[in-house]
Structure 1
Amino acid sequence: MSDITVSTEKVTDELLAEVADLYVVEQYKKSLWAWQFSHRFERDVLAIVARDNGRVVGFNGTMPIKIVDEHDQKIDAIWSCDFIVAPDYRGKGLGKAIKDEMAKAFTMPVMSLGISDSAFPLLLKKGWRAPVRLNVWDLLMHPKTVKQVILFAWSSLCRAGLFIAINRAQNKFLVEELSYLPSRQVIDYLWVLHRQDKNTVEVLRDYDYLIWRYVDCPFQCYQFLHVGSNLDGSKAIIIFRISTGNNIEVVDFIGYADAALVSSAVTFWLKKYPNTTAIHWNTSLSKLHTGLLVNGFVKKSYGSRFATLSAYVQNNWGLVAGDSDGDFLRLAKEQSYFSAIKDSSEEINKAFIAPSKLDGELVFHSPEGFDYKRISEEAFYSMELLWDELIAKSDANPLFMSWQWIASWWRQWGNALSLKFHVLLVFEQEIIVGIIPFYQYKKRFLNKYQMIGNAWGLSPTVRSEYTSPIFLRNKAGVLYKSLHAYIKAQAFNSSFIFSDTLKNAMPTLSCWEHRMDVGYKISVNDDFNDYLLSLGRMTRLKAFNRRIYLIEHYPSVEFQWLIITRESLDDFFNNLNSFHLLRWGKPCFDRFAVNFHKSFILGPMGPNALLSYLRVDGKIVSASYNIKIQDVIYNIQSGYLELFDKKVSLGTLHMGWLIEAAFKNQSVNAFDFLAGFGRVEDYKKHYRGDAIHFYTFQYFSSSTVRALFGAQFFFKKLTKKTAKYIKQTWGGR
Structure 2
Amino acid sequence: MKLEIHSQPDLFTELAPEWNKLVERSTANQIFNTWEWQSTWWQAYQPGDLWVITCRTDADQLIGLAPWFIGTTEDQKRFVATIGCKEVTDYLDLIVDADHVDAVLDQFAGFLAENHDRFDEIQLCNISEHSISHSNFPSALEKHGFTTELEPEDVCPVVELPESWSDYLAMLDKKQRHELRRKFRRAHGENSGIDWYIVGQDDDIEEAMQQFLELMASSDPDKARFLSDPQNVTFFKSIAAVMQQCGWLHLCFLTVEGERAAAYFNFDYNQQILVYNSGLNPESHGHLSPGIVLLAFIIQHAIETKHRVFDFLQGNETYKYHMGGKDIAVLNLNARYTGN
Common topology (TM > 0.5): yes
CA distance in 2 between counterparts of 1:592 and 1:619 reads 29
Partner of 2:173: 536
Q: Deviations over 1:423-459 (max 9, x none)?
A: 111123233221111111222252211110114xxxx
Letter in 2 for 1:485: G
CA separation of 1:520 and 1:575: change in aligned 2, threshold 3 A = same
| Contact 2:72–2:79 (8 Å) recurs in 1 | yes
Say which of 259, 282, 289 aligns to 1:642: 282
| Contact 1:544–1:653 (8 Å) recurs in 2 | no
Alignment of 1:48-127 (within 5 A): none
Deviation at 1:664, TM superposition (A): 0.6
2:61 equivalent to 1:436: no
Say which of 129, 152, 156 aligns to 1:519: 156
2:84 equivalent to 1:453: yes
Letter in 1 for 2:155: V
CA separation of 1:528 and 1:553: change in aligned 2, threshold 3 A = closer
Deviation at 1:550, TM superposition (A): 4.1
Letter in 2 for 1:599: S
2:333 equivalent to 1:693: no
2:10 equivalent to 1:378: yes
CA distance in 1 between counterparts of 2:262 and 2:149 reads 40
CA distance in 2 between counterparts of 1:689 and 1:589 reads 30
What do you get for the CA RMSD once the two structures are aligned? Answer: 2.6
CA distance in 2 between counterparts of 1:570 and 1:670 reads 25
Say which of 313, 320, 324 aligns to 1:674: 313
Deviation at 1:690, TM superposition (A): 3.8
| Contact 2:116–2:337 (8 Å) recurs in 1 | yes
CA separation of 1:466 and 1:578: change in aligned 2, threshold 3 A = closer
CA distance in 2 between counterparts of 1:613 and 1:641 reads 12
2:270 equivalent to 1:621: no
CA separation of 1:616 and 1:427: change in aligned 2, threshold 3 A = same
Q: Looking at CA atoms only, which structure, 1 or 2, has the larger radius of gyration?
A: 1
Report the 3-state secondary structure (helix = DSSP H, G, I; strand = E; otherwise coil) of the residue aligned with 2:99: helix
Alignment of 1:542-561 (within 5 A): 542-552=179-189, 554-561=191-198
Deviation at 1:600, TM superposition (A): 2.5
CA distance in 1 between counterparts of 2:335 and 2:111 reads 12
| Contact 2:196–2:254 (8 Å) recurs in 1 | yes
Partner of 1:494: 120
CA separation of 1:477 and 1:544: change in aligned 2, threshold 3 A = farther
Partner of 1:73: none
CA distance in 2 between counterparts of 1:544 and 1:627 reads 26
CA distance in 1 between counterparts of 2:220 and 2:56 reads 48
CA separation of 1:446 and 1:476: change in aligned 2, threshold 3 A = same
CA separation of 1:632 and 1:535: change in aligned 2, threshold 3 A = same
Q: Deviations over 1:579-618 (max 9, x none)?
A: 3346865355843233223223323644221111111122
Partner of 1:160: none
CA separation of 1:589 and 1:648: change in aligned 2, threshold 3 A = farther
Partner of 1:109: none
Report the 3-state secondary structure (helix = DSSP H, G, I; strand = E; otherwise coil) of the residue aligned with 1:465: coil
CA distance in 2 between counterparts of 1:697 and 1:675 reads 17
Q: Deviations over 1:390-439 (max 9, x none)?
A: 1111112331000010000000011xx3x111111112323322111111
Report the 3-state secondary structure (helix = DSSP H, G, I; strand = E; otherwise coil) of the residue aligned with 1:400: helix
CA distance in 1 between counterparts of 2:77 and 2:192 reads 61
Partner of 2:107: 482
Letter in 2 for 1:619: E
CA distance in 2 between counterparts of 1:476 and 1:453 reads 22
| TM-score scaled by length of structure 1 | 0.41
CA separation of 1:618 and 1:496: change in aligned 2, threshold 3 A = same
| Contact 2:6–2:50 (8 Å) recurs in 1 | no
How many corresponding residue pairs?
323
Deviation at 1:565, TM superposition (A): 0.8
Q: Deviations over 1:129-161 (max 9, x none)?
A: xxxxxxxxxxxxxxxxxxxxxxxxxxxxxxxxx
CA distance in 2 between counterparts of 1:653 and 1:379 reads 44
Letter in 2 for 1:498: L
| Contact 1:581–1:587 (8 Å) recurs in 2 | no
Listed as ranges, the gaps of 5+ residues in structure 1 are: 1-368, 456-460, 705-733
Listed as ranges, the gaps of 5+ residues in structure 2 are: none
